[in-house]
Amino acid sequence: MGRNKKTYTDEFKKKCIQELMEGKSASEVCADNSISPSTLSDWKKAILENGFGSKELKIAQKLQQETEARLEAAKLLIWKKELEIELLKTKMSSAVKK
């Protein structure tokens, strides 16, 4: 007698990995989907080694580009605020000297 091994669809596997990537803990994903931690780990490893499908890759690339754009905008805003602070310090310093 052997154990019957469950088979899961690629969509189900991707859904579980997506939940993990969105911030759910591995234990939550496993409990919510009735899978073992080792199974989830195997799926994650397979996706990291073999990559996502083209649709998932495009989504990940778009999210990365959006994140990089927001980061650059934040850096620019910080630079402007630092410049404003320096200008104000200079004005205050010259006003105190008078």
- Backbone φ and ψ for 20, nearest 5 degrees, come out as -65, -45
- Per-residue tens of pLDDT for the chain, all 98 residues: 556 678 888 889 889 988 988 889 999 999 999 999 999 998 888 877 776 666 666 777 788 899 999 999 999 999 999 999 999 999 988 888 76
pLDDT attached to residue 2: 56
pLDDT attached to residue 58: 72
pLDDT attached to residue 31: 96
* Cα-Cα end-to-end distance for the chain: 96
